[in-house]
Amino acid sequence: MKNKISGFTLTETLIATVIGLISIVAAFSAYNYFNKSYASVTQKADISKSARLALTAIARDLRNAGYIDPNYVAHSPESNRTERTVRMNMLSVSQKRFGGKYGESDYLQLWYANASQQSRYITYYLRKYQGSNNNYYLSRSVLLNRHHPQGGNQLIDNELFVPYVEDFQVIFKDKDGKVLVPVCSSGCGSVEDSQGRGNLTTTAFGQMTLGQANAMKVHTAEVYLTVRSPKEVYSKARRVKIQNGESPHGSNFTIPADKYHRETFFVSVHTRNLATPQVKIASSGTSIGVGTGYNK
């Protein structure tokens, strides 16, 4: 008696093979799609986190700008510290200086004395990656006692503060909301020179340049930070227009089409230690003081 052996026919085998291949391709496509989506979301989240942490730190520095410890002038180890000299370098922005890849970015300097024998001089600007073709990061440096006779103490030197930054803008406004220019001291550029920053003017603390005197009128600082993803995100190239700040101040340029993700972050900071208006007493018309209880 012969045993009957059952099995798959050639047609059934081919059908099973095709179904298996379709399943494998579908699974691979789904994995590839979700993997790219995850990488995209991760890069966007990293951009948001680094930019927001950076703006928090910049806002803190801007709020501290111009603060003078009550005992600083009398006990400072730095040379030639008087009420006038300490107010000459409190805040400064140079438009389009160290302008980054697109030549539009700003250079920010600020100063404050947080102790009787210590001052901090802080700078922010775009700096090219070493060995990079044309990629920039936001750099932060902190110098203690900048005007010490033996030189200051470099606490932080060109720290990589925010990676892959495309644009960095700082716009100062007075108490009436009008853009205030020029505001610069030692870090002035050609734009500030054309605005007459070196013209001398008389202040309550003595003669200063216009750029230095304007620093004491700054009531609000608006900061724009445009950050790019380190790797490509989109499947198709797209052009991006960057417009940070109001014309003619700030930046306005178009980035050629590519596949990177870009996002702009913004913060408006009230400078607590600079613009301090006088408040008039209605009955006598006299002032109750300059900045009493203001910006605290």
231-264 pLDDT, tens digit per residue, is: 898 889 999 999 999 888 899 999 999 999 999 9
Q: Within a domain: residue 4?
A: no
In this prediction, residue 35 carries a pLDDT of 57
For the chain, the domain total comes to 1
In this prediction, residue 291 carries a pLDDT of 38
**What type of residue is 224?**
Y
| Residue 171 confidence (pLDDT) above 90 | yes
Cα angle for residues 198, 203, 209 (degrees, 5° grid):
10
Q: What are phi and psi of 64, to 5 degrees?
A: -80, -20
Q: How many CB atoms lie within 10 A of CB 248?
A: 9
Q: Within a domain: residue 23?
A: no
Mean pLDDT for the chain overall: 86
Instruction: Please report the DSSP string for 231-281 in residue order.
Output: S---SS-EEEEEEESSTTSSEEEEEEEES--EEEEEEEEE-TTS---EEE-
Q: Within a domain: residue 1?
A: no
In this prediction, residue 110 carries a pLDDT of 96
| Residue 132 confidence (pLDDT) above 70 | yes
* Helix (H) or strand (E) segment spanning residue 93: strand 91-94
Q: How far apart are CA 292 and CA 296, in angstroms?
A: 9
139-157 pLDDT, tens digit per residue, is: 999 999 998 998 899 999 9
| Residue 13 confidence (pLDDT) above 80 | no
How does residue 36 score in pLDDT terms, banded at 50, 70 and 90?
low
**What type of residue is 90?**
M
Token pair 């209605």 in the structure block, residue: 282
Strand order in the sheet with 220-228: 165-173, 220-228, 262-270
Q: Within a domain: residue 178?
A: yes
| Residue 27 confidence (pLDDT) above 80 | no
74-130 pLDDT, tens digit per residue, is: 999 998 888 899 999 899 999 998 899 999 999 999 999 999 999 999 999 999 998
Q: Within a domain: residue 20?
A: no
The 3-class SS string of 98-144 reads: CCCCCCCCCEEEEEEEEECCEEEEEEEEEEECCCCCCCEEEEEEEEE
By C-alpha distance, which of 195, 216, 196 is closest to 204?
Answer: 216
In this prediction, residue 39 carries a pLDDT of 65
Q: Within a domain: residue 200?
A: yes
Q: What are phi and psi of 114, to 5 degrees?
A: -90, 0
Collapsing DSSP to helix, strand or coil, 224 comes out as strand
Q: Within a domain: residue 239?
A: yes
199-234 pLDDT, tens digit per residue, is: 999 999 999 999 999 999 999 999 999 999 998 988
In this prediction, residue 283 carries a pLDDT of 45
Q: Within a domain: residue 13?
A: no
> For the CA atoms of the chain, what is the radius of gyration?
28
In this prediction, residue 45 carries a pLDDT of 87
Torsion 151-155-161-164 (CA) sign: positive
Cis omega before residue 163 (within 30°)? no
Domain that holds residue 123: 38-290
Distance from the first to the final alpha carbon of the chain: 105
